[in-house]
Amino acid sequence: MAETLRRLRSWLVVLGAALLLPVSGISAASAQPTTDSGVSPMIVGGTRASTSQYPWVVYLATSSGSQYCGGTLVAPNKVVTAAHCTVGDSASAVRVVAGRDDKNSTAGVVARVNKIWIHPSYRTATQGYDVSVLTLDRNLNYATLPFATSADTGLYAAGTSATILGWGTTSSGGSASRYLLKASVPVVSSTSCTSSYGTSYKSAHMVCAGYTQGGTDTCQGDSGGPLVAGGKLIGITSWGQGCASAGYPGVYARVSAYATEIQAQINA
Ligand code: ARG
């Protein structure tokens, strides 16, 4: 099943990240209890949010309606998501759901996809270029979100408060959220993210966000969804070591690095 493959793909991203880390007895093992000890599970460490307030956040679902990734409406018929969410898929198999906070409801609209663009340099999430643009079969009547360009370097300054949104799992390896959740996380400096992830973190293509102590993060199923700062899409949820682990922030595709290509897809 396509769905199983998608789940496997998410896990491979996690596993891939884990394998690239130095496994010196304590690092990966000691990160685990931190993840499991979280008391307020949502996104991880988040709260309920509404698509009335965030009309441009959407989710990707299978033809049977199963949510597996997030996305952002950047033009009436264009959705930015992660390449690892769409790679290998045929457009006819993907649904984009807008305006639906509760996955168990029928609120909002379900659009079909006419075209999937995947960054031509994409290979795996940890190698960068984890960007995909979907062309929908119709214009959606929801507000769009502007995306960061090369003029927006200020939004990537360490400590900038950013919003994460999604319907993904509320703990690493846990179950997905029924409702849209949100949380705030600070942008992490590239120096600090390199300390966490070594050469798997590529500063030109990625940006990290999260608290040093962990506790708040995107997680499996949030991929493709937005990292928002200054009213703009600055990142696309991509990968991380576990979720919400101390010392391991979430890693996002750096949208400003792909602005020209995203704009070209909007104009296409
Ligand atoms: N790869 C995951 C997905 O496909 C997203 C992981 C984000 N991880 C993190 N620690 N922020 O949904």
- Give me ligand 1 centre to Cα 238, in Å: 5
Q: How many other C-beta atoms can be found within 10 angstroms of the C-beta atom of residue 63?
A: 12
Asked if residue 38 belongs to a domain, the reply is no
In angstroms, the CA 213 to CA 38 distance is 11
Candidates 130, 132, 172, 196; catalytic one = 130
Asked if residue 8 belongs to a domain, the reply is yes
User: What is the 8-class DSSP label of residue 219?
Assistant: -
In angstroms, the CA 108 to CA 212 distance is 37
Q: 96 has which bridge partners?
A: 60, 111
CATH number at residue 165: 2.40.10.10
The pTM (predicted TM-score) of the whole model is 0.88
- Give me ligand 1 centre to Cα 222, in Å: 6
Comparing CA positions, the residue from 70, 72, 77 lying closest to residue 55 is 72
Q: What is the pLDDT of residue 133?
A: 98
Residue 36 known to be catalytic: no
Query: Which domain does 180 fall in, by range?
Result: 1-32+43-268
Asked if residue 127 belongs to a domain, the reply is yes
Q: CA angle, 180 as apex, 215 and 205 as ends, to 5°?
A: 65
10 CA closest ligand 1 atom index: 4
Residue 84 known to be catalytic: yes
Asked if residue 139 belongs to a domain, the reply is yes
Asked if residue 171 belongs to a domain, the reply is yes
Residues in the chain, total: 268
Q: What is the pLDDT of residue 45?
A: 97
Comparing CA positions, the residue from 214, 222, 204 lying closest to residue 248 is 214
Write the CA distances from 81 to 73, 128, 132, 149, 248, integer angstroms.
9, 13, 5, 16, 22
Identify the three-state secondary structure at position 179.
Answer: strand
Residue 130 known to be catalytic: yes
Structure tokens at 154: 């200020």
Asked if residue 220 belongs to a domain, the reply is yes
Ranges of residues in the chain with a pLDDT under 50 are 1-41
Domain tally for the chain? 1
Asked if residue 229 belongs to a domain, the reply is yes
Best residue among 20, 60, 220, 251 to mutate for probing ligand 1, ranked by most atoms within 8 Å of CB: 220
Q: What is the pLDDT of residue 140?
A: 98
Asked if residue 180 belongs to a domain, the reply is yes
223 CA closest ligand 1 atom index: 12
